[in-house]
């Protein structure tokens, strides 16, 4: 499922000389056996450039059901127009449905962080300057928009004391509702962030020490998260559901905040 999503994003956002433009992108999608019109939904992955290359940082579940799924493909992109190289990137919510022999991609929802705020909030500036917090392009734009709650930013700074970590998703590029439900997600409201790597260890890697991930989850709760999800069900918490686990959250730690 993740491989299918990643192959599509790499095909859309990477081309050599002569490969620019929507029609060429449609051809690359069709070569994967997917509907070519998916290229029409690629948004920022198709800049006006002579060449481009995508680097996928992480592919994270946005939600899994028996016959449908959301995979959040987090990426950087470099594009060249003449001698000018521009660094960019986005996060794409790739929607899939079950099929044989491979899952089908049905829709793409690239991140839409919105414009940067006229004045960068102080806490956002501190997070962006913190080398122990690594943010992908869409998350950086989220912080620059001024639409991420202080509770999220302060928690990140608190966690950066004992840990270094890489964030996958903050506000944009995440499903608007908790996948498979009609409950609004905390992410689009600027009240959550997901972490895919802690102290150099991927959360999804079976070799990653359980104590490291579990300790990070408990530290996120202590930093104010009311809703901490991860690969294992933890005991305790200030409420009965402060900690949770499910199929979606075995590859990252989710920290949600009530305000």
Question: pLDDT per residue over 155-165, tens digit each?
Answer: 999 999 999 99
Mean pLDDT computed over 203-224: 98
The pLDDT of residue 84 is above 90: yes
Q: Are 196 and 252 in contact (CB under 8 A)?
A: yes
Q: List all residues 6 or more positions away from 102 whose beta carbon is below 8 Å from its beta carbon.
A: 4, 33
Do the beta carbons of residue 99 and residue 79 sit within 8 Å? no
Task: Say whether pLDDT at 151 is over 90.
Answer: yes
- Angle between helix 22-30 and 2-13 (nearest 10): 150
pLDDT at 130: 98
Domains, the chain, ranges and CATH?
2-110 (3.10.450.540), 122-256 (3.30.1380)
- 175-199, pLDDT tens digit by residue? 999 998 999 999 999 999 999 999 9
| Percent of the chain scoring above 90 in pLDDT | 96
The pLDDT tens digits of the residues spanning 24-34 come to 999 999 999 99
Q: What is the number of other CB atoms lying within 10 angstroms of the CB of residue 243? A: 22
- pLDDT score at 237: 85
Average pLDDT over residues 47-66: 97
At residue 176, the pLDDT reads 92
- State the pLDDT confidence band at 251, using cuts at 50, 70 and 90: very high
pLDDT value at 259 more than 90: no
> Does position 249 have pLDDT exceeding 90, yes or no?
yes
* Euclidean distance between CA atoms 54 and 66, whole angstroms: 30
Residue in this structure with the two tokens 């928690």, named with its chain if needed: 155
Q: What is the model's pLDDT at position 240?
A: 82
- In the chain, count H helices and then E strands: 6, 11
Q: Position of tokens 């020490």?
A: 209
Average pLDDT value for residue range 83-92: 96
């Amino acid at each position: 499922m993740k491989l299918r999503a990643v192959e599509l994003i790499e095909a859309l956002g990477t081309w050599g000389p002569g490969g620019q433009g929507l029609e060429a992108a449609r051809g690359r999608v069709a070569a994967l056996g997917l509907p070519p019109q998916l290229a029409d939904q690629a948004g920022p992955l198709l800049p006006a450039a002579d060449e481009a290359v995508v680097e996928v940082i992480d592919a994270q579940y946005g939600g899994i059901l028996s016959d449908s799924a959301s995979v959040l493909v987090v990426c950087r992109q470099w594009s060249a127009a003449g001698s000018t190289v521009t660094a960019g990137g986005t996060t794409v919510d790739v929607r899939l449905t079950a099929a044989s022999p491979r899952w089908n991609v049905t829709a793409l929802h690239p991140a839409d962080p919105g414009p940067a705020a006229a004045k960068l909030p102080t806490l956002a500036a501190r997070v962006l300057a913190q080398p122990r917090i690594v943010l992908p392009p869409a998350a950086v734009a989220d912080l620059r928009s001024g639409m991420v709650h202080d509770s999220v930013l302060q928690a990140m700074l608190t966690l950066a004391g004992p840990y270094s970590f890489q964030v996958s998703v903050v506000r944009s590029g995440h499903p608007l509702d908790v996948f498979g439900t009609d409950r609004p997600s905390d992410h689009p409201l600027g009240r959550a962030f997901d972490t895919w790597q802690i102290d150099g260890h991927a959360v999804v890697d079976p070799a990653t020490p359980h104590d490291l991930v579990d300790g990070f989850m408990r530290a996120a709760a202590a930093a104010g998260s009311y809703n901490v999800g991860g690969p294992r069900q933890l005991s305790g918490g200030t409420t009965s559901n402060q900690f949770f686990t499910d199929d979606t959250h075995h590859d990252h730690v989710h920290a949600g905040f009530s305000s």
